[in-house]
Amino acid sequence: MTDTRPDEKPLLVTVLVFPGVRPLDVAGPIEVFASANEFGGRYRVRTASPGGIDVVTSAGTGLSVDLDAAHVPYISDVVIVPGGPEWPTLIKDDTLLRAVKALETHSRRTASVCTGAFLLAEAGLLNGRRATTHWRFTGELAQRYPQVSVEADALFVRDGSIMTSAGVSSGIDLSLALVEEHRGVDLARAVAKDMVVFMQRPGGQSQFSVRTRVPPVKQEVLRRVLDQAAADPSADHSLAGMARRAGMSTRHLSRLFRQELGTTPAHYIEQVRMEAAQAMLEGGDDPMASVARRSGFGPPESLRRAFMRNMGVTPGAYRARFRTTGVSAETVDRAGCSRSPTPDAHDMPLA
């Protein structure tokens, strides 16, 4: 079991909550830090709300609160700002925005989950920074706040003392990165394994299976072709081979792909094979030649070209991402500096 040094002081995490907050935005990060404590992480997590009142979440469930956000009696190592489905209304709540600013002023790092980025942006905390949010709202974030450099496909973005993350589950990715930053990669990896999640999900915000994210197809023969490709990516899935098994011309099969899937047979098969190769790289140490052959790419160079084309990284770099959350290499922010700790902050009382 991973453990921290016995003389290390607890890291203080404050999670902002408010009426209409999305429950998973809150629970995901809290669960990461709670799991880290099982492996010696030494986190102390408290919830805070404007006025210190208990809140009702967007799911209609009650959430008890520990502290008044305006009077948190310590310097937080991390402040988590979650989002909510009614974010257009939330960003007009002056009391909530004052709470965001108050917590950020007394924290070493402030991190948003999902549409919590809009609260940070409205409070002026993202001006001149890079940021992200849920893929459905990245365009809206960029349009409303032109002074923010929005990275639409990132799972999370770190810019100085501010971190922002994408959809609701990416709050877990962000929190794992914080655990690695604070307590090291071994502890973060232990937490990821305990929670059965990736250390770092590659490929941006699109994380769904190729076969499950295509629209339902009407033609039974096309369904069989797709199922065969998913079942054995290394088989002969050339246009001629698929057409022969389907009992139709190559021209007709191409037309079905365009009509029902909006893509070409070649592109679809490449995505299936990419997914197969990703799974092999994520879960083992097979030689690249074996990964290339079993995923249907053939020679390793074909695998490499496909990864560069689709992911922008080599297969080796992709595999390496599953050994770290990626945050450990980034020891300073873009300006080459980080926020200095406040002396004796940990000695301040907890409510």
Active-site residue set? 114
Q: How many helices (H) and strands (E) does the chain have?
A: 15, 11
**First and final CA of the chain: distance in angstroms?**
30
Distance of alpha carbon 310 from alpha carbon 274, whole angstroms = 8
Tokens 């409303």 found at: 144
| Six-digit token string for 320 | 């390496």
Nearest to 223 by CA among 257, 271, 270: 257
Burial letters 106-125, b for 16+ CB under 10 A, else e: bbbbbbbbbbbbbbbbbbeb
Angstrom distances, CA of residue 139 to CA of 89, 111, 144, 325: 18, 20, 9, 26
Nearest to 190 by CA among 199, 200, 182: 199
| Six-digit token string for 165 | 């993350």
Angstrom distances, CA of residue 13 to CA of 199, 323, 350: 21, 25, 11
Angstrom distances, CA of residue 16 to CA of 53, 69, 76, 89, 282: 12, 7, 12, 17, 34
Helix, coil or strand: residue 254: helix
283: left (phi over 0), alpha (psi -120 to 50) or beta: alpha
Q: Specify burial of residue 23 (Cβ count, 10 A radius: 0-12, 13-18, 19+).
A: middle
